[in-house]
Structure 1
Amino acid sequence: MPLNAGDTGYGGVPGPGLSGGAGGSETELLLIPEPEPDPVQQWRPMTVEELEVTAGGPGWRKARCYLVLLFWVAWAAVLATSIAVITMSPRPVVTPLRWWQRAVFYQLQPGLFMEEQAEGPEGLNAVCERFPYLRSLGIGALILEGLFDKKASRLNLTAAGKNFGNSAQVQHLLAKSNEADLKVVLDLCELDLLGPQDVAGNPDEPSNLSAARALRFWLEQGAAGFSICDTDAAYSEKSLLEWRGVFKDFSSHEEERIVVVKRTTDVLRPLNNSRQINVQLVDVVMRSILPHSHHLLSDQEVSIAIETHLQTRQDIWPSWTVGGKVSRDLKKLLLVLIMTLPGSPAVRYDEELDQTQSVSLKVDSLRRKTDEPSDNRTDKKKKRSAVALFASLSRSRAREEALLYGSLTFLPFSTSSNSSSSNSTFSSPSSPPILAFLRSWGCVHFLVLLNVGPELHSLDPAWAPSLPEAGVFVTSTEMDRSGTTSLYTLKLQPHEAIVIKLFEIGSYS
């Protein structure tokens, strides 16, 4: 047989690489390459056109609607919750105050300004020049004393005293006071106001007709009211009812005429008002913090008098004045006290508050004869400090509701060791403790601290655990405290008074 018989190779089976076999072509690859991977797409931000197309889709529009709806629902829920909390929370009831309940009274004797000026018009002009300055200090009403002669008052109450010229000059004073927005209360204390007996009435009972005519005359001139003493004959139900009848023709809500009664006795004599239960015959009762005395009251006596008044209450609106004699160190403390008590403060004329130098006063002349001369620079510094303290107290009282008609809470407490200062020169177990009271309105609290004694005092941390421990200084007697403070670290200097507005830590407003 031939070796190449047939095309199938050996045994008729074509071999690899041979003609007629699978893959017999020399052009066929011996190894099959793996397929190339797909190219990876690089990340890139969307273009504006692509973003507009995507955001305009139905899915995104629906999501945005849900988010806006959720925001307004949450906002409405928060608003409804806030309104519910405010509505359901207990709130103090605001009692509308009359002008005489908001005002600071200033007791002034025009006769003090009439030494070097010819008595009469020039002296009264000196008083009128002070009206704008007094109004800038926050004074709202004047109680003018000594305008009428006590002997001539029974015959003609419409005539001024001999030192004041004629009644026309007093009318000019009243007109100037109204221009300065100052109310004027004419002092009629210790005057015989009962005129001739009424022929038609009971001959044994004096009439008040002449006094009523005089009151009408001065009300027409612009007087805001009158003050009498509790020992005067005019302090009776019959007289005051007649006065009320006269006041009706001149009174309105903002121009209400008032009757001020100066209390000179320990207990105010009550009026028999059984027939006129709904009629308030007396508007203001002027009370003295300190008892009247001919000697300077000691620190202990002052402390007892203050504590007694802080623990007493009365229905008639009080007007506080200092009254008794005290040392110079306690004058500022008592000013802080009467300006922060509930009621209307009545401050007696003080030359330290008078910044005008155009008129020399009789009081100054007397003091120059008895007192040693002092350094002018020190006197000016004391005057500035007194004026700054008065202005600070009057402004705080005018804008703070808690000081106007807030409640009063007396806070008796003990102090830590009073010998903590090396500068303390007086150490006695009978030294007066710190006196304190709280004026509260809603969640606002004003703490008034009074160190009547001559020693340095530190507060006991456990004296009032229910009060907030932090606060901010409102004012102090020396006007040297400002910023925040902690009651746990506070120390009161001798004869110092401090007013602090309390607040919770982290929530001051």
Structure 2
Amino acid sequence: MERTDQEINGTMPLNSGGTGYGSVRDSEAAPLLIPGPDPEPVQTWKPMSREELEVAAGGPGWRKVRCYLVLMFWLAWVAILATSVAIIVMSPRPVVIPLKWWQKTLFYQLQPGLATEAQAEESEGVNAVCEQLPYYRSLGIGALIVEGLFDTKSSPLNLTATAKDLATQAQIQHLLMECNKADLKVVLDFCDSDLLGSTDEEDEPSHHSAAVQHVLQFWMEQGVAGFSICDTDAAYSEKTLLAWRGIIKEFSQEEERIVVVKQRTDVLHPLNNSSQINGTLVDVVMRSILPHSHHILSDQEVAEAIETHLQTREEHIWPSWTVGGKASQDLKKLLLVLLMTLPGSPAVSHDEDIDRTQNVSLKVATSHREMDELSDPHTDKEKTKHTAVALFASLSHSRAREEALLFGSFTFLSFNASSNSSFNNSTLSPPSSPPILAFLRSWGCVHFLILLNVGSDVHTLDPAWVPSLPEAGVFVASTGMGRLGSTSLYKLSLQPHEAIVIKLFEAGSYE
């Protein structure tokens, strides 16, 4: 096939009727850049209206999401609650021991005839005691053991006739009425009284028994909360105490009366060769921390006596502790701290330092700001009395509100030879210096540490001593009442004849 000249030259012929025929001039005049399409209008964001939001939220997708979130919330809440209940149930809890009134109370021993030796003549004997009953109650005292009211040689028939030089029957009845008003219980002391009568009397034993029964009923009708005898009395026998227990139960089932036995012997003799029957016949056994002696015990003797009692525990009879023997005045406050923190009921003897009438001069001088005018010995004496009252009140109130001090467990903490070291002027303490005595009262996670420095040297605690104890604590009381706030056992030093009560807590927490 023959190609034309146009085909040979690479050009295509244009027909006169074609679309491109004759349009060369128009194409040359057209612009080279062809404008693109117009941009779409920019959509600006605006919040949904209430109607639009309700329409969108009411959709099936959002409904499922909301139901899922609500279900997850309640499942998580139930899981947390179940876990908390399981932890509480499975965790060990301290058992709250229900205590009788005599197990919670603080006994105060006084003898009206001795309590008035330093008082004015116009207020003597029982009347002076009645005036101080509200003051005793404010210190935390719950019961009075009234001693020396009865003649030790009186027979059961004349037991209601009190000693002539001490008090009359009407005065004792007045004392019982005032104690009832002040919410104080009274325990009458029958120690050394001839309750069973002399053996050479012609009266029959049944007659004496009826007389004693009449005496007990008479005083219980007057409001007496209990009676105390000594283990050296003839009345301390199974037969007599069984009769007393029957009389007490017959008289009143609502108000509990108690029988207190003061232990004067080294070992309390069991009744009928059985130590278990003592707990049913005797409610409280009052023991002395220090042995009775005619001389003042040395620091070493006091430390040995205290350590002996701390290492010996008797659980079948509720104990009550009193000082008993003679110790130096420097150890007076230390022994008070020990009485208030030992398991049992403390029985504090009458003390002039906490007697209100002995502190009247101090109160008057303080109110008139005359302390600077007082002589130095008098000022020191009044400060000592103030400290004694503050210490007594602090210990009694702490014991009343802290379960660990009321019925908490007891743990004796022994020091080894290295932890008894004391540094004073870069010299070691003499070997004869008594060691630090310590014990722990615990209930649950609450711990009270009691430290006693019976010696006359400064003692510093060894950090390696009892590493299981929490390091931090807060001062509750001290013999000088000068320690306040938190402390660390690693930095604690005990002054001579000082006792400290510390409430321990874990680091970073305080209860």
TM-score normalised by structure 2 residue count: 0.86
- The reply to whether residue 218 of structure 1 matches residue 241 of structure 2 is no
Distance 2:191 2:103 in 1: 21
Residue ranges of structure 1 left out of the alignment (5+ in a row): 1-9, 361-372
- Partners of 1:12 and 1:243 lie apart in 2 by 148
Determine the structure 2 residue equivalent to 1:366.
none
Which AA in structure 2 matches 1:129? E
Q: How does 1:74-473 map to 2 (within 5 A)?
A: 74-115=76-117, 123-195=125-197, 207-252=208-253, 255-272=255-272, 277=277, 280-314=280-314, 315-357=316-358, 375-414=377-416, 416=419, 418-422=421-425, 427-473=429-475
Whether the 8 Å CA contact 1:433–1:452 is kept in 2: the answer is yes
Distance 1:417 1:324 in 2: 26
1:367 paired residue number: none
**What letter is aligned with 1:102?**
K
**Cα gap change, 1:276/1:291 in structure 2, threshold over 3 Å: closer, same or farther?**
closer
Structure-2 residue corresponding to 1:489: 491
Deviations 1:361-409 (A, max 9, x none): xxxxxxxxxxxx9633222221221111111111111111111111111
Contact 1:126 1:359 in 2 (8 A): no
Question: Cα deviation per residue 1:7-55 (whole Å; 9 max; x = unaligned)?
Answer: xxx9655799998326738985443112343344444555555545544
Which letter does structure 1 place at the counterpart of 2:286? M
Asked whether the 8 Å contact 1:418–1:456 carries over to 2, the reply is: no
Secondary structure of 2:503's aligned partner: strand
Q: Deviation of residue 91 (structure 1)?
A: 2.5
User: Alignment identity in percent?
Assistant: 68
Distance 2:212 2:346 in 1: 28
Contact 2:125 2:167 in 1 (8 A): no
Stretch deviating more after TM superposition (257-266 or 16-25): 16-25
CA distance in 2, matches of 1:277, 1:108: 30
- Cα pair distance change 1:15/1:474, threshold 3 Å: farther
Q: Distance in 2 between matches of 1:276 and 1:301?
A: 32
| Alpha carbons of structure 1 residues 122 and 381: separation in structure 2 relative to 1, 3 Å | closer
Q: Distance in 1 between matches of 2:32 and 2:120?
A: 137
- SS of alignment partner, residue 288 of structure 1: strand
Contact kept, 8 Å, 2:285 with 2:317, in 1: the verdict is yes
Are 2:450 and 2:502, in contact at CA under 8 Å, matched by a contact in 1? yes
**AA at the equivalent of 2:79:** A
RMSD over aligned CA atoms reads 3.3
Q: Using the alignment, how far apart are the partners of 1:244 and 1:398 within structure 2?
A: 29
- Separation in structure 2 between the aligned mates of residue 27 and residue 122 of structure 1, nearest angstrom: 140
Q: Give deviations 1:104-151, integer Å, cap 9, x for gaps.
A: 1000111134456668x8532211111111111111110001111223
Asked whether the 8 Å contact 2:156–2:215 carries over to 1, the reply is no
Shift of 1:423: 9.5
| Structure 2 unaligned spans of 5+ | 1-11, 362-374
Secondary structure of 1:24's match?
A: helix
Q: Secondary structure at the match of 2:26?
A: coil
Residues 157-181 of structure 1 show CA distances to partners (whole Å, capped at 9, x for unaligned) of 1122213453122111001101111
What residue identity is the alignment partner of 1:379? K
Read off the aligned partner of 2:468 and give its amino acid letter.
Answer: S
TM (norm. structure 1) is 0.86
Letter paired with 1:59: G
Q: Describe the shift of the 1:392–1:264 C-alpha distance in structure 2 as closer, same or farther (beyond 3 A).
A: same
CA pair 48-485 structure 1, distance change in 2 beyond 3 A: farther
User: Over residues 165-218 of structure 1, what are the superposed CA-to-partner deviations in whole Å (9 max), with x where a residue is unaligned?
Assistant: 5312211100110111111000111111114889999x6899432222111110
Distance 2:274 2:382 in 1: 55
The CA deviation string for residues 294-317 of structure 1, in whole angstroms up to 9 with x for no partner, is 222111111100110011122211
Distance in 1 separating the partners of 2:296 and 2:201 = 51
Q: Structure 1 residues 154-163 or 255-264, which shifts more?
A: 154-163
Flag the 1:266–1:165 CA change in 2: closer, same or farther, 3 A.
closer
Asked if structure 2 preserves the Cα contact closer than 8 Å seen for 1:17 and 1:24, the reply is: no
Offset of residue 152 of structure 1: 3.0
Query: Quick one: distance in 2 between partners of 1:251 and 1:197?
Result: 32
Does the Cα contact within 8 Å between 1:194 and 1:210 map onto a contact in 2? no
CA distance in 1, matches of 2:459, 2:376: 30
Task: Work out the CA distance in 2 between the residues paired with 1:321 and 1:401.
Answer: 21
Deviation for aligned residue 1:506: 2.3
Q: Which one is further off, 72-81 or 272-281?
A: 272-281
For residues 230 and 340 of structure 2, what CA distance do their matches in structure 1 show?
Answer: 23
Residues 477, 496 of structure 1: 8 Å contact kept: yes
Separation in 2, partners of 1:57, 1:198: 109
The count of residues paired between Structure 1 and Structure 2 equals 485
Which residue number corresponds to residue 369 of structure 1?
none
SS at match of 1:499: strand
Cα contact 1:250–1:256 (8 A) shared by 2: no
Does the 8 Å contact 1:407/1:441 carry over to 2?
A: yes
- C-alpha distance in 2 between matches for 1:12 and 1:149: 159
CA contact (8 A) 1:450 1:498 kept: yes
